Structure 1
Amino acid sequence: MSKKQDESELLSFLNAKGAYQPRKIGKSTDFTFLANLTGRPQVWMLDKHGEVSSFHELKDRVLQVYHSPSGKHTVLASDFEGNEKQQFFLTSDNGKTIEDLVISPEHFHQFGGWSPDESRITYASNRRNPGYFDIFTLNIETKEEVTVFESQTNCTPLTWTADGKRIIFTYAVSNIDNQLHILDIESGKTTPIGDVNIPARYHSVQLTKDNMSGYVVTDEGRDTLAIAKFELKKPDSLDFIYKSERWDIEEVKISVDEQYLAFSLNEGGSSQLGIYSLRKNTVTNIKDLPVGVYQSLQWLTDRELLVGVTSSTLPGDIWKVDIIDDKSERLTNIGVSPEVSHLWVEPELCHFSSFDGLEVPYFLYGKKSANQPVMLYIHGGPESQIRNEYNPVIQYLAAQGYAVAAPNVRGSMGYGREYVQLDDVRKRMDSVADVNYLVEDLVSTHQADRDRVGIMGRSYGGFMVLAAITHYPKVWSAAVDIVGISHFRTFLENTGPWRRRLREQEYGSLEHDSDFFEEIAPLNHTEKIQVPLLIFHGKNDTRVPVSEAEQLTKDLESQGKNVELIIFEDEGHQTEKLENHVLMNKKTVEFMDQWLDK
C-alpha cells in the first residue's frame, strides 16, 4: 500500500462520525442529538422523513442541549476554542433564530435546569471568585438574574422540584465524592440528601411529579453505585431499592408515567440496560441492543426509550427501545462507515496480576500473532475508565498490525469505591507499576515483542506515560504525551483554583505533599528518558496548563533528547477541530511506525 493510500485509510478511521446525547423535545417524540458532521459538534435532529437536519449551528462546538419541559425553548451551551467556559444561547423557534442568554466569556457556567413553568433557568458560575461557584436563576424574558446561593467550593444545580420553589444541587467534596442538598430559593435554607457524614458519590437525581420523593444513584455506605429512594420531607434517609455487589449503576431515568426506572449497569466496561418496575419491584434486562456503552437515557413514551449507543466498532448512534416487547430500532445511521468499518475489531477483555496480586483488567485489540509490536493506551482521569467504545487511533493501529492494550489500572472507575482509591496521594506510583506489569503479561501471555513496545496517553494518561518512561525507562521504544502533567506541583499551582482544591484530594496537596511531588515528578527525572517523545497540548487548556508541556520540552531539548512539541493554538484540553484531530493522529501513527520499526 502506498503512502498516499495509507493516509487515505487513516483519514477514514479519523473521520468516522457518531451521534450521541439524544434529548427529547417536550411532549413530542422528536429529539435532538449531537454529532460532529461539520468539523465540530453541533445540534441535529431527524426530519419527518428520517433524514438528518441541522437544528442550529453555532460558531464553536456545542457541549450540551437543554430543552424546556414543553419544548418551546432550548438552551445551547458552547465554549470558545476548547476552553470549557460554557456560555448559554437561547432559541424559542426550534433553532431558526438564536440569542445570547448567559454570556461572561471569562467565566465558567454550569446549567442546572428549567423551572417547571419555563420562566427561569438555573446555573452556577465562578464570577464572584475563580475558585467558588455560586448558583443563579435567570428569567428568560426579563433577563433578571438573582444569586440564590453562594458557595466556597464547586457546586452545580441539577434540577428544580415540581413546585418550582426548590433546587437540588451537588456540592463537590473531593475529586470523586460530592453531597446533594435541597435549596429553598426563598429562605436560602439547605437540606442534605443522604448522610453527609459518609463520603459518597451521588448522581442521576430523578424526582416524582407529586413533589414527594425522588431517586438517586449513590455508593453511600457501599463499594458500588446503586439506586436509592428518598423522601423530600426526610431526605437524609436513603432506601436502596436496586444494587449490584460487583458493578456500578451508571444512570437512571424515571418513566413518563412513573411506573419504571430505566438504568444502565457498567459491567466491566460494557453496559447492561435494565428496567426496574416500581410497582412490582422486579427488574427486566433488555437484550435487543448492540453490545457497547449506553448513555443519555430518554423516555419517549411510557414504553419507549431513546438510548445513545457506542462500542468499539460503532462510533455512536441513537436507538429506540420498546421495553415491553424488548425490541430495538436504530434511528440514526451516522456511525455507519462502509469504507472502513470492515477493518474495525472487537477487543478481548483480559486481566493480569500486578505486583501485589491485584487483578487488573484491560482491553486487547488486534492480537494476531507472536512478536507483534504493541501499544499501550492509558486513559485519563485518573477516575475514568477505558470502555467498550470507538477509538479511531486504537482501531487504526490494530489495523496496521499493532496489538493495542488499553488497561484500567488501579484508580480507574467502574470497579467499586475501593479500587478507585488504590492510587490516591502517595500510592500514585502503584498505578505506574501496574503498567510495567501489563507489559510483562503481554510478553509472557500474548507473545508481544518486548523490543517494540510503545505507550501513549491523554491528560492524566499523559502523566502516566511520562512516569512510565522515567521510572521504567528500558521498557519502551516510543512515547506520546497528550495534554499531560509533567509535575504535580506546577500543575496544581497553575490549574484553576476550584479544580486545584478537588485535585488535591486525589494527588496530594501543595502544603503536605510537595516532597512527594518532587520525588515522582517526570520533570525531575528527564535524564532517565531513553525513548523518542512526541507531545501535544492545547494553548487554551484550563485543566492542564500548556506550561506543563513547555517546561518538559525545554528541559529535554537542553539535554539534546529526541522530543517534539506541537501546540494547538485554537484548542483546549480536548482536541475538537477536525484539522487538528487529523494532524495529531496522523503524526502519532507515523511516529509509532518510525520508532517501533515494524
Structure 2
Amino acid sequence: MVTPNIEQYLNIRTTSSPRFSPDGRSIAFLWNITGTTQIWQIDQNGSWPTQLTFLNEPVRGFDFHPLKHEIIFSVDQGGNEQTQLFRLFGTSGNTDHGIGDGWEVTDLTKRPDAVHTFGAFSHDGKRIAYTATRENPSRFDVYVQEWNPKAQPQRLCEGPGGYLSVLGFSPNDRYLLLRHLESNFNQNLFLLDVATAKLTLLTPHDGDVQFEHATWLPDGQSILCTTTSGGGDFPAIASIAIQSKKLVVLQNLDHEVDGLSLSKSGKISALLLNRDGQSELQLQHRESGKKIPIPKIPLSVISNLEISPDESQVVVSLSGPQHANNIYRFSIGQNDNPSLHQLTFAGQAGLSTSRFTVPKLIHYPSFDGKKIPAWYYPAADASPNQPRPVIVYPHGGPESQTRPQFNALFEFFVKSGYGVLAPNVRGSSGYGTEYLNADNVRKRMDSVKDLAHAAYWLREQREVDPKRLAVYGGSYGGFMVLAAVTGYPDLWAAGINVVGIANFVTFLEKTGAYRRAHREREYGSLETDREFLVQISPIHQVDRIRCPMMVIHGANDPRVPVGEAEQIVAALRERKIPVEYLRYEDEGHGLAKLKNRLDCYPKMVRFLDRFVKNRETTNDPKN
C-alpha cells in the first residue's frame, strides 16, 4: 500500500455559510482556499467566485445588510475570540453581481479588549444590534449602533451575566428578541423594547428547559421556537405570544432539531432534523402545511440553509463522508423532482473523495447496558489475518456530536492503516434530553467509562490489534483523553490531547469570565463541588499514565487557557513519561491557520507511527 501524503489531505478546501444578497442575485460564503477563511461571492447560477476580504486572520462570521449589498463580519486576533465587527461596502457602487470593483473595510466596534457578537440588522437597515463584553468581561450587554463608520454604540441594557445573544428585530423594529444561555440544557428568551430599554422575560419556567431556534413570526405578535417545556425527551415546535407569554405547542418531534427558519415573508418554513447524526430537511408552506419537494440528498450533514428573498431557491452547506463541505442550490415550487446543483468546488487537492470511506454506525454496550452510538471507520487493509491499530476519537463539547461529515484527517488515517472509532458518549447532543444530561456534574466519569468500553468493544473485533489503540481528542475531548489514560492506563498505546482540560479547578478559575457560570452548571461549582472537581482532574493522577503523550495548544486560547497544557506537560516531564508538546503562539482554541495545521499534523502522524503503528505489542511505553 502506498503511504498517503498528509499535506495533500490537509490541503482539501471547504466552503460554508452561504448567504443570499438582498436582491438574491449573488451568494456570499466563507472559503479557506487562501489558508485562512475569508468571504467570497458567486453568482447564484455559478461562476468563478470573487474574494471580498483579504485578512491575515480568519473571518468568524458575516451577514448581509437587508437592503444594500453591504456586509458586516467578525474577526478576532490570533484565536483570542475577542471578535470585532467590521463593515464591508463598495467604493464604486454595486453591480448585478454584488459589490463593484472596489470595496472598503471599516472597524465598527474598535474595542479589541472586548468580545462582540453580532445579532441583527433592523429591517430598515439603519441600525445593527449586538451583544458585547465592553463594560464587564463576565457578561454580555445589548448595544444598538447606527450603520455608518462614525457611529458610536448605545448600550440598551445590562445583561444578566454569561452568554446573551440578539436573535432579531421585530418586524416593526420596535423590539429585540434575546436569548440567555444559562447552560446548554437551560435557556430563556427575553423581549427588549428598543425605545424604552424595558426588558421582559418571555419564558418563565421551573427547572431546566431549552428554548432554541427562536425567530419572529411575520405578524410581530409571536415568535416561533423549539422547546423542551413539555417535558418530552425531544423538543417541540411552539409559538409564544409576546404580550400574554402564552406558549402553544404546534408540533411534537421525535428527533433533535438542527435548525428552524422562515423565508423572508414567513410563508415557507424550513426544519432541519438530526436523525442519528444524519440531516433530514423538511420544507413546507406554513399556511397550508403542504410539503415542498426537496432533492434526494446523500448521507450528509447540512450545516447552513437559506431561502432566497424571492422564495424560489434554497442554498445549503453540505458535507458527507465522500464529499467535502461545499455549497449547493436547488429550486423550489417549480417541479416535483428538484435537483441539487453544486455551486462551489472548494478543491479536492487531487484526491478522489468519492473513494473515501463511508463509516459504519454501530452501537456498543457500556458498563450499565446503555448502548453508545459510534461511527466506525475500519482501516483500509484490516482483516483478521492483518489486525490494525485504531484511533479512538472522543469529541469536544461535551454537548457535541460526531456526525458523518467529511473528515480528511480520518480518511488519511484509514488509508495509512489505522481504523478510527468516534463514539458519542453520554452527554452528547443529538439523542434527546436524558442522554444529554447523563454526564452532568457528579456523573462526569460515566462518560469516561463509555470511552473505555469503546476500547473494550474494539478489542473484540478480529480486524483490530488490541495492543495498538490510541486516544485522540480536543477541548472536552482533550479532557477525555487525559481521563482515559489516567483512569484506564492499560488500554492505550498513546494519547493526543488538543486544547484539553487537565485541572477543572484552574480551568474554571481562568476560563473566559463570561463562560464561567455556564461551565459550572455543566461541570460543577468551585464553591460547592471543589473536592469533586479535584478528584476527577487528570492532573492529580498523572502517576497512572503509562503511554507516550502528545499535547497541542494555542497560546491565546480563552476557553481552555494554555496553562492547562503547561501543567500536564510539566507533570509528565517530571515523571519521565514521553511527551511531545506543540504550542502555537498565533492560535486559540484549536488550529485555524493552514500553516499551523501543516506543521502540527505531520508531527502527529510521526508520533502515532512511532508509538502506535510500529510499536511492539506490549504496554511498556519504552517500546
TM-score range, shorter chain: over 0.9
Q: What is the deviation of 1:283?
A: 4.3
- Partner secondary structure for residue 13 of structure 1: helix
Partners of 1:160 and 1:167 within 8 A in 2: yes
CA separation in 2, counterparts of 1:207 and 1:336? Answer: 40
Residue pairs, 1:328-343, within 5 angstroms: 328-343=340-355
| Consecutive unaligned residues in structure 1, runs of 5 or more | none
What is the identity, as a one-letter code, of the residue corresponding to 1:532?
P
Cα RMSD, aligned residues only: 1.8
Question: What residue number does 2:94 align with?
Answer: none
Question: What residue number does 2:239 align with?
Answer: 229
What is the identity, as a one-letter code, of the residue corresponding to 1:256?
K
- Confirm or deny that 1:238 pairs with 2:247: yes
Question: What residue number does 1:187 align with?
Answer: 196
Residue pairs, 1:292-311, within 5 angstroms: 292-300=300-308, 301-311=310-320
Partners of 1:314 and 1:336 within 8 A in 2: no
Question: What residue number does 2:377 align with?
Answer: 365
Deviates most, 530-539 or 39-48: 39-48
Q: What is the deviation of 1:447?
A: 4.1
CA separation in 2, counterparts of 1:80 and 1:225? Answer: 37
- Confirm or deny that 1:589 pairs with 2:605: yes
Question: What residue number does 1:133 align with?
Answer: 140
Question: What residue number does 2:116 align with?
Answer: 109
How many residues matched?
592
Pair 243,321 (structure 1): closer, same or farther in 2 beyond 3 Å: farther
Deviates most, 397-406 or 224-233: 224-233
What is the identity, as a one-letter code, of the residue corresponding to 2:199?
T
18, 21, 32: which is aligned to 1:22? 18
Partner deviation per Cα, 1:420-453 (whole Å, 9 max, x = no partner): 1100001111000001111111222454211010
CA separation in 2, counterparts of 1:65 and 1:414? Answer: 26
Question: What residue number does 2:400 align with?
Answer: 384
Residue pairs, 1:240-319, within 5 angstroms: 240-245=249-254, 247-283=255-291, 286-300=294-308, 301-319=310-328
CA separation in 2, counterparts of 1:225 and 1:14? Answer: 37
- Confirm or deny that 1:408 pairs with 2:456: no
Partners of 2:117 and 2:130 within 8 A in 1: yes
Question: What residue number does 2:95 align with?
Answer: none
Q: What is the deviation of 1:335?
A: 5.0
Q: What is the deviation of 1:201?
A: 2.1
Partners of 1:272 and 1:286 within 8 A in 2: no
CA separation in 2, counterparts of 1:17 and 1:180? Answer: 37
Q: What is the deviation of 1:150?
A: 0.4
Partners of 2:284 and 2:291 within 8 A in 1: yes
CA separation in 1, counterparts of 2:462 and 2:249? Answer: 42
Question: What residue number does 1:562 align with?
Answer: 578
- Confirm or deny that 1:88 pairs with 2:95: no
23, 29, 37: which is aligned to 1:33? 29
Deviates most, 421-430 or 174-183: 174-183
513, 516, 537: which is aligned to 1:521? 537
Pair 525,404 (structure 1): closer, same or farther in 2 beyond 3 Å: same
CA separation in 2, counterparts of 1:193 and 1:397? Answer: 49
CA separation in 1, counterparts of 2:67 and 2:383? Answer: 57
What is the identity, as a one-letter code, of the residue corresponding to 1:113?
A
196, 209, 213: which is aligned to 1:204? 213
Q: What is the deviation of 1:582?
A: 1.5
150, 154, 158: which is aligned to 1:150? 158
Percent same amino acid at aligned positions? 33
CA separation in 2, counterparts of 1:256 and 1:493? Answer: 44
- Partner secondary structure for residue 124 of structure 1: strand
Pair 446,31 (structure 1): closer, same or farther in 2 beyond 3 Å: farther
Partner deviation per Cα, 1:28-61 (whole Å, 9 max, x = no partner): 2311000101011000111476112102222311
Q: What is the deviation of 1:342?
A: 4.9
Partner deviation per Cα, 1:150-181 (whole Å, 9 max, x = no partner): 02312111111111111011112124421111
What is the identity, as a one-letter code, of the residue corresponding to 1:251?
G
Q: What is the deviation of 1:206?
A: 2.4
CA separation in 2, counterparts of 1:342 and 1:303? Answer: 30
Pair 32,486 (structure 1): closer, same or farther in 2 beyond 3 Å: same
| Consecutive unaligned residues in structure 2, runs of 5 or more | 91-98, 615-623
CA separation in 2, counterparts of 1:286 and 1:350? Answer: 28
- Confirm or deny that 1:456 pairs with 2:472: yes
CA separation in 2, counterparts of 1:340 and 1:588? Answer: 24
Q: What is the deviation of 1:287?
A: 4.3
- Partner secondary structure for residue 224 of structure 1: coil
- Partner secondary structure for residue 378 of structure 1: coil
Compute the TM-score of the two structures, normalised by the length of structure 1: 0.95
Question: What residue number does 1:356 align with?
Answer: 368
- Confirm or deny that 1:76 pairs with 2:76: no
Deviates most, 446-455 or 416-425: 446-455
CA separation in 2, counterparts of 1:256 and 1:109? Answer: 26
Partners of 1:198 and 1:220 within 8 A in 2: no
CA separation in 2, counterparts of 1:289 and 1:563? Answer: 44
CA separation in 2, counterparts of 1:31 and 1:203? Answer: 26
- Partner secondary structure for residue 102 of structure 1: coil
- Partner secondary structure for residue 489 of structure 2: coil
Q: What is the deviation of 1:21?
A: 0.4
- Confirm or deny that 1:58 pairs with 2:72: no
Question: What residue number does 2:226 align with?
Answer: 217
Compute the TM-score of the two structures, normalised by the length of structure 2: 0.92
CA separation in 2, counterparts of 1:136 and 1:256? Answer: 24
Partners of 2:372 and 2:426 within 8 A in 1: yes
CA separation in 1, counterparts of 2:51 and 2:128? Answer: 25
Deviates most, 497-506 or 316-325: 316-325
Pair 49,531 (structure 1): closer, same or farther in 2 beyond 3 Å: closer
CA separation in 1, counterparts of 2:196 and 2:155? Answer: 12
- Partner secondary structure for residue 394 of structure 1: helix
Question: What residue number does 2:619 align with?
Answer: none
- Partner secondary structure for residue 129 of structure 1: coil
Q: What is the deviation of 1:274?
A: 0.6
Partner deviation per Cα, 1:291-325 (whole Å, 9 max, x = no partner): 21112211113232111101122221111122333
What is the identity, as a one-letter code, of the residue corresponding to 2:205?
V
CA separation in 1, counterparts of 2:293 and 2:445? Answer: 39
Deviates most, 329-338 or 20-29: 329-338
Question: What residue number does 1:124 align with?
Answer: 131
CA separation in 2, counterparts of 1:174 and 1:182? Answer: 20
Q: What is the deviation of 1:340?
A: 4.4
Question: What residue number does 1:496 align with?
Answer: 512
